[in-house]
Amino acid sequence: MRRKKQRMALEVSLLLAVVLLLPTVGAQGPPVDEQKGCIAFAYSKSDVHLFLIGEEKAIFGNNLTIEHNCESVSIYFDDLFQARSSSNFTTIIEPGTFDITIETDSFNITYENITVFPDRLTWESEYQMVLDFQEPYIAISESDFQINYAVGFSIVIVWVLSVYVYWSLINAYVERNFIEEVVQ
């Protein structure tokens, strides 16, 4: 009995020691920085879809939008200056493959091999123009004739198959129930 009490006292004292030795951790927010870092990013838009630029990415759209919280941002396509602004801005981008550089006061970043495809709405209007000026592949009267011919041919095939199935059923019934008299 005395041993149990000693063991219990030892366990309780170890538990207290562990609890007292654990460091206390208080939840706190992110460190307050009086000078916020400069953040800049670029994306394109096609219909309701947004495409963020990155290394060897494919994007769709005709405009490249640059958003930032920096004092000034410059953008270069294949080392050719395109635009500079102290607020968010949008620039036109042509289809092709480019190296895009975003330059700020605190950093420069280059995204290589960005493939730009035209906006979906542009494709739709181009194809619509092509279709408007082309002749239809077949005439409407010829199409109607082919549809009528196919319907008539289908009716004949269905009739032949139905008659064959019914004839086979009737023939099987007659053969099974046929009685011959043998007269001597």
Does the residue 162 lie in any domain?
Answer: no
Domains identified in the chain, total number:
1
- Domain with 51 in it: what CATH number? 2.60.40
Give me the sign of the Cα torsion angle 20, 22, 25, 31: positive
Does the residue 67 lie in any domain?
Answer: yes
Task: Give the domain range for residue 59.
Answer: 40-119
pTM recorded for the entire structure: 0.49
Least confident range from 5-19, 123-137, 164-178: namely: 123-137
The residues, ordered by sequence, that sit 6+ positions from 46 with a Cβ below 8 Å of its Cβ are: 60, 61, 119, 120, 121
Average confidence (pLDDT) over 129-148: 77
pLDDT digits (tens, 9 = 90+) for 29-65: 555 455 568 899 999 988 788 999 999 999 988 899 9
- C-beta atoms surrounding 114 within 10 Å: 23
**Phi and psi, residue 58, nearest 5°:** -110, 130
